[in-house]
């Protein structure tokens, strides 16, 4: 077997996977609450080429062993939206979709929608998923009231003004035992796994209103890594070509 051919081919595959990860980081540089990923490379199996010389070992390339989420705090972008929230801690918001599936997220760009089943306005995200409180329930939008005199009687009348302080207090913040065990999904979702542990509510964690946490993508760093990965891919491709040429020469030799 031409070991150099397969080692270089495995290197091309690994570098392509790495390039996909770095490219995805850069593509999400403006995604709210996005946590960048970092690939972890590892060596493939080593084999002894001669039993008489056990110290002579040959490797067989590399592969992507894992991808780690970068959990450092993203920068805060101050907005003028009262339903924008950011978490200056390791907590998460929890949302539930129309199918009843729950997810954690760091994306606090919320809005409100009419829940026709309940007949009330409720807090949701941009995808229409409902934001949950500390008890795991939907959050109805509270409207301020004011006193008005109607037919000579003073009554409390609901206005169109939202009481944002009550909304802020109601939004649940959750933590998990192991952030690195969470699985990143589409739409800014983080899926709870056995490695992450079950989420628990923590009302001691702060929330920042009128702010959003930006992506943790390191643009300059990922651009450098993309260049390095591209060069490594090209070198491995050249090794594949060279190995193929040597094999063709060896096969064409005549005794």
Measure the CA–CA gap between 153 and 1, rounded to whole angstroms: 95
What is the per-residue pLDDT across 52-107, written as a single tens digit (0 to 9) for each? 776 777 778 888 988 889 999 999 999 989 999 999 999 999 999 989 999 999 99
Query: Whole-model pTM above 0.85?
Result: no
**Token pair in block for residue 229:** 């990965």
Q: Which residues contact 134 (CB under 8 A, 6 or more apart)?
A: 170, 172, 173, 201, 203
What is the per-residue pLDDT across 24-50, written as a single tens digit (0 to 9) for each? 999 999 999 999 999 998 888 777 776
């Amino acid at each position: 077997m031409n070991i150099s051919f397969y080692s270089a081919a495995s290197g091309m595959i690994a570098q392509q996977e790495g390039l996909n990860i770095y490219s995805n980081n850069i593509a999400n540089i403006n995604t709210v609450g996005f946590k960048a990923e970092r690939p972890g490379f590892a060596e493939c199996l080593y084999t002894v080429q001669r039993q008489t010389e056990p110290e002579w070992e040959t490797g067989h390339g590399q592969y992507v062993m894992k991808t780690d989420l970068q959990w450092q705090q993203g920068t805060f972008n101050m907005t003028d939206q009262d339903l924008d929230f950011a978490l200056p801690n390791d907590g998460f918001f929890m949302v539930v979709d129309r199918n009843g599936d729950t997810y954690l997220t760091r994306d606090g760009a919320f809005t409100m929608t009419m829940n026709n089943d309940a007949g009330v306005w409720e807090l949701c995200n941009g995808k229409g998923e409902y934001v949950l409180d500390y008890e795991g329930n939907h959050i109805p939008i509270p409207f301020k009231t004011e006193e008005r005199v109607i037919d000579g009687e003073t009554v409390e009348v609901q206005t169109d003004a939202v009481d944002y302080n009550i909304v802020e207090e109601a939004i649940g913040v959750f933590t998990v035992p192991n952030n690195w065990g969470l699985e990143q999904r589409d739409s800014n979702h983080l899926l709870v796994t056995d490695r992450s542990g079950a989420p628990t509510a923590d009302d001691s964690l702060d929330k920042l209103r009128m702010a959003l946490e930006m992506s943790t993508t390191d643009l300059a760093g990922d651009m450098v890594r993309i260049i390095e990965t591209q060069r490594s891919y090209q070198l491995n491709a050249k090794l594949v070509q060279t190995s193929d040429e040597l094999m063709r020469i060896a096969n064409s030799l005549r005794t």
